[in-house]
């Protein structure tokens, strides 16, 4: 159709809505950026800690943890402790 002319009041309301949306959007963008920076920082700290430990914990398919020693490149298998069977007193 032809260009629809909105009444001034509706125009004002629409403009306010747009402004609010833009404000919220920019606030969201700021918090997202802050979060990303935080996670990057935390990951770097975590990587540094792991590097100082000289091994990286790796999970095997069966759930056993493998400790890979970066220096010696040997694998130390960590075997989970067997649960003690409860003795049934009769």
Is residue 86 in a domain? no
Is residue 87 in a domain? no
Is residue 38 in a domain? yes
Is residue 27 in a domain? yes
pTM for this one? 0.33
Is residue 52 in a domain? yes
Is residue 89 in a domain? no
> Do residues 76 and 69 lie in contact, with contact meaning Cβ atoms separated by under 8 Å?
yes
Q: Give the Cα separation of 82 and 56 in Å (integer).
A: 24
pLDDT of the residue at 35: 86
Name the residue range of residue 15's domain.
Answer: 8-78
Chain segment 49-66, per-residue pLDDT in tens = 766 665 555 555 555 555
Angle at 26 between CA 23 and CA 32, to 5 degrees: 140
Under DSSP, is residue 68 helix (H, G, I), strand (E, B) or coil?
strand
pLDDT of the residue at 70: 46
What's the structural domain count of the chain?
1
Using a pLDDT cut of 70, give the percent of the chain over it: 50
Using a pLDDT cut of 90, give the percent of the chain over it: 11
Cα 21 off chain centre by: 27
Q: Is the dihedral angle over the CA atoms 39, 61, 83, 67 positive or is it negative? A: negative
pLDDT of the residue at 30: 82
Is residue 3 in a domain? no
Is residue 88 in a domain? no
């Amino acid at each position: 159709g032809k260009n629809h002319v909105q009444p001034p009041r509706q125009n004002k309301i629409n403009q306010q809505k747009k402004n609010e949306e833009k404000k919220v959007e920019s606030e969201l963008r700021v918090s997202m950026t802050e979060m990303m920076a935080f996670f990057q920082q935390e990951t770097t700290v975590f990587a540094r800690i792991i590097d100082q430990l000289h091994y990286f914990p790796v999970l095997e398919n069966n759930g056993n943890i493998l400790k890979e020693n970066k220096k010696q490149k040997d694998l130390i298998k960590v075997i989970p402790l067997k649960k003690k069977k409860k003795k049934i007193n009769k």
